[in-house]
Structure 1
Amino acid sequence: MGFLSSLSSAASAPDEVRETVDPKHPRDPVLAQMFGDPDGVSVTPQSAMRVTAVYACVSLISETIAALPLHVYKRTVSDKGVTTQAKMTEHPLYSVLHDMPVAGMTSFEWREMQISHTALRGDSYARIILGRDGRVRELPPILPDHIQPFRNAAGQLRYRWWPDGMGPVRILFDDEVLRIPHKMLDGVNSLSPIATHRQTIGTALSAGRFLRSFYQNSAQPKGALTTPEALSPDAVTALRESWNKRHQGPDNAGKIAIFDGGMKWEQIGMSMDDAQYLELQKFSVGDIARIFLVPPHKVGEMGAATFSNIEQQAIEFVVDTILRWVRRIEMRMNSYLLSAADRAAGVFIALDMKGLLRGDAAARSAFYRAMFYIGAMNPNEIRKAEDMNPYEGGEEFYVQGATVPIDSLGMGAPGAGNDGSVEEMIAQAVQKALEAEQTRKMRNE
């Protein structure tokens, strides 16, 4: 809830007593603009998005997760102990999550917004609206500024919610809210990445402000005009206007300065090279990328990337960054959107990451082929590793050669007893090969 909104609410309802969000929290843009911060830069989720590295990190994470297929599955186990899973397109929750969680927002847009809220403010919220059948009907989002978690005297998690950001407060139960927190240290409040690292982001904002000032208002070259004689105020004003007109602004940068009347130029201040502005920009990008655990090359900083390791870094992005977000979302959705009966029946919600986790297809194919030909993996184990359902007969193990089932060679499954028939067949094959080679030599002679 905004600072001005809280003042307005207090004036309209003087008898109402309630807690509000911490007025020092940077999520309140009105308060930040009024009082700023100790470093003189207002760092809010809105202002932080003006930093290209922050915008790129938040967009990359939110859009990547929003682009993943979101399905409702059912897991079943056959009489032979084979586990399969199938999409439950007929489940009431499927259309809500896969198509449109709330009127006017597609699943992609809804997830993009929710993840952006979590990445910027530390939390995202959505009300769980049930239909008459007790099933989830829609998930309208709640602005993080309008809701606050707390625990009551009994230790139960509850939420204070201001529907319009300023009116009377409503209390929501834990099972009425789908919350996706970023990082909690006390089990109630989440750490906002922007609030936690506001100094780092503020440095990037200050650098951007300096760059704008440098190009818009700075006269080149920098320094002072000195003269041995005193100038009248009118002469000083005329000289300053003439100098700025000729040298100020990006269009006039680098023009030759001509001095007469004993005037001299004295260099003052630092140049852009001295200030190492470009190095500062690169450092800021890397620092902000570390906040969101995003590889710098994914947001355009290619200093540490090479053609030999760029693919490995892309895989690390999926494993070290996206996978954490996916597990956080899946566990929250499975806990709050599915009924106990659904979970007991093997129903679960999952994001399909097959396309992101594939990595090097050639290396993966070679690995499966090698494991298959030595009898270490059967077809169904390979299909399971690729998130594919097994097929009847896919439990057989094979060895290279005629590619026949191991049982037909008398060897049995891996680890089973061996009656020596395979050794005999190998010995016979070797003997036949030796005899054939000896016959060939005799004919040549």
Structure 2
Amino acid sequence: MIWPFKRSETRSTNQAPGGDSYWQDFAALRTGNKNPEGLAAVWACVSLISETLASLPFAVYQGNDKVRSHPLHKVLNRMANDGTTAFEFRESMTAAVLLSGNAFARIERDHTGQVKALHQIRDVSVLRLPSGKLAYEYSDNGRVVRLLQGECLHLRGRLGNDGVLGMSPIQIARSTFDLALEEQQHGVSTFRNAGRLSGVLESAATLKPEQRDSLKQSWQAQYSGTGNAGRTAVLEAGLTFRPISMSLQDAEWLASRQFSVEEVARIFRCPPTLIGDLRNGTYSNSSEMFRAFVVTTLRTWMTRWEQAIEAVCLSEAARNTFYVEHSAEGLLRGDSTTRAAFYASGIQAGWLKPSEARELENLPPIDGLDDFTANDGKAPTTPTPPYPSKEAE
């Protein structure tokens, strides 16, 4: 079958530079030499959203029917390209948007113009051409490659002031991540020094520079580090040790670390219980927070993906016939009891057919299954062949 496709523009051969240029400093996502992804809460939030979204079925529809034979269906659900599965591609693209606000993929088409593969690209500069359309430039083995607007999938978060690039939550809430990173580094430094806070060695006598250096090196060698924790210090020549810092308890370091987890979860709109913070979690509120996560957080990202795919992977003519949509019912796969209740209520209410429930479970179809309501509520059964009775023997 030839799927409807029509190119709206052709590639420029002279590669003339465009007008305005938009680019993002991805190195600025780091704080000094620290990477915000090193925070457990950041990693957990990004993994929760990207992995959950990538695991959902992402089907191509014509009306109410799935069109599994459409070329785009395989790209979105099986293999994004020869070296990347659809799950890996969608997970990586979503994670990139969550951290940097933008993700880009080169669209590879076949001879009929249909999408045959999607390749994620990085370090992309976005140009606005004199025609008003966008172009995307990236480096491929030292060669600058320019893609036209219809040749690049641009997935982005909330638009910034330029109306082109999405905003990065890492950059917008930099102070929050800075504080969390500093708290983490403070804990690392403290325990690296055997949990002992800094202090001063006092002496009534005046020490020469070489004596001070020797004393410092000797003290660090004997009493610094976790391997030396609990050792008894021996002070000579009237030396005394006086701590000058607050304890971790006085500084409420642990409370600050816990609050940072809540702040990070708030930025990514993830319920704390879903990223391992169970201090206020119960069975009932955890279930409700998961439902809220699907409705308020995951639904937003599903919509971003669906509209971005339709905008560049389907032609204008195809969009009048086809559309793409996630199936959130896949989230119920891990709970057989809830899944069975969901199917039963749908079948009894009449908005779900038994054959559709079997399809959601990847089970083979049964002829006549949807007619069981007309058969006194009994599902069709396979006739049992007659067997000889014992009397006949």
Q: 1:62 aligns with which of 21, 46, 50?
A: 50
TM-superposed deviation, 1:149: 4.8
TM-superposed deviation, 1:262: 3.0
The match for 1:284 is 260
Partner SS for 2:68? coil
> 2:325 aligned with 1:325, yes or no?
no
Say whether the 8 Å CA contact 2:198–2:243 is kept in structure 1.
Answer: yes
> 2:156 aligned with 1:181, yes or no?
yes
Structure 1 CA distance for aligned equivalents of residues 113 and 343 of structure 2: 48
One-letter code aligned to 2:27: D
Partner SS for 2:90? helix
Structure 2 CA distance for aligned equivalents of residues 366 and 125 of structure 1: 37
Partner SS for 2:250? helix
Q: Which has the higher contact order (CA 8 A, sep 6+)?
A: 2
Say whether the 8 Å CA contact 2:158–2:167 is kept in structure 1.
Answer: yes
Structure 2 CA distance for aligned equivalents of residues 207 and 112 of structure 1: 29
State the TM-score, normalized to the length of structure 1: 0.68
The match for 1:351 is 326
Structure 2 CA distance for aligned equivalents of residues 216 and 356 of structure 1: 42
Structure 2 CA distance for aligned equivalents of residues 362 and 96 of structure 1: 30
1:298-329 C-alpha deviation (Å, 9 max, x unpaired)? 21222221233111112112112111111211
- Size of the aligned set, in residue pairs, is 351
One-letter code aligned to 2:328: M
Q: 1:105 aligns with which of 52, 59, 84?
A: 84
Structure-2 change in CA distance of 1:87 and 1:301 (3 Å) = same
Partner SS for 2:303? helix
Structure-2 change in CA distance of 1:52 and 1:26 (3 Å) = farther
Q: Larger C-alpha radius of gyration, 1 or 2?
A: 1
TM-superposed deviation, 1:128: 2.1
1:3-42 C-alpha deviation (Å, 9 max, x unpaired)? xxxxxxxxxxxxx8987655xx54136xx88xxxxxxx42
The match for 2:7 is none
> 2:44 aligned with 1:74, yes or no?
no
Say whether the 8 Å CA contact 2:159–2:165 is kept in structure 1.
Answer: yes
Structure 2 CA distance for aligned equivalents of residues 315 and 248 of structure 1: 49
TM-superposed deviation, 1:183: 0.8
Tell me, which stretches of 5 or more residues in structure 2 are unaligned?
1-16, 360-367, 378-393
Structure 2 CA distance for aligned equivalents of residues 27 and 297 of structure 1: 30
Say whether the 8 Å CA contact 1:128–1:138 is kept in structure 2.
Answer: yes
Partner SS for 1:213? helix
Say whether the 8 Å CA contact 1:127–1:139 is kept in structure 2.
Answer: yes
Structure 2 CA distance for aligned equivalents of residues 387 and 294 of structure 1: 30
Say whether the 8 Å CA contact 1:71–1:350 is kept in structure 2.
Answer: yes
Partner SS for 1:95? helix
1:306-355 C-alpha deviation (Å, 9 max, x unpaired)? 2331111121121121111112111222232223443333x322222103
Alignment of 1:256-405 (within 5 A): 256-345=232-321, 347-356=322-331, 365=341, 379-383=349-353
Tell me, which stretches of 5 or more residues in structure 1 are unaligned?
1-15, 34-40, 76-84, 397-401, 404-445
Structure 2 CA distance for aligned equivalents of residues 290 and 235 of structure 1: 52
1:64-104 C-alpha deviation (Å, 9 max, x unpaired)? 111112222332xxxxxxxxx33322222222222112120
Structure 2 CA distance for aligned equivalents of residues 356 and 200 of structure 1: 31
Say whether the 8 Å CA contact 1:72–1:89 is kept in structure 2.
Answer: yes
Structure 2 CA distance for aligned equivalents of residues 382 and 391 of structure 1: 12
Say whether the 8 Å CA contact 2:59–2:73 is kept in structure 1.
Answer: yes
Structure-2 change in CA distance of 1:139 and 1:169 (3 Å) = closer
One-letter code aligned to 2:258: K
Structure-2 change in CA distance of 1:215 and 1:26 (3 Å) = farther
Structure-2 change in CA distance of 1:163 and 1:188 (3 Å) = same
Say whether the 8 Å CA contact 1:146–1:165 is kept in structure 2.
Answer: no
Say whether the 8 Å CA contact 2:202–2:241 is kept in structure 1.
Answer: yes
One-letter code aligned to 2:95: S
**Identity %, equivalent residues:** 30
One-letter code aligned to 1:67: S
The match for 1:229 is 205
The two structures, once aligned, show a CA RMSD in angstroms of 3.6
Structure 2 CA distance for aligned equivalents of residues 160 and 342 of structure 1: 24
Structure-2 change in CA distance of 1:129 and 1:355 (3 Å) = closer
1:268-304 C-alpha deviation (Å, 9 max, x unpaired)? 1222222222112111111111111111112122222
> 2:137 aligned with 1:161, yes or no?
yes
The match for 1:147 is 125
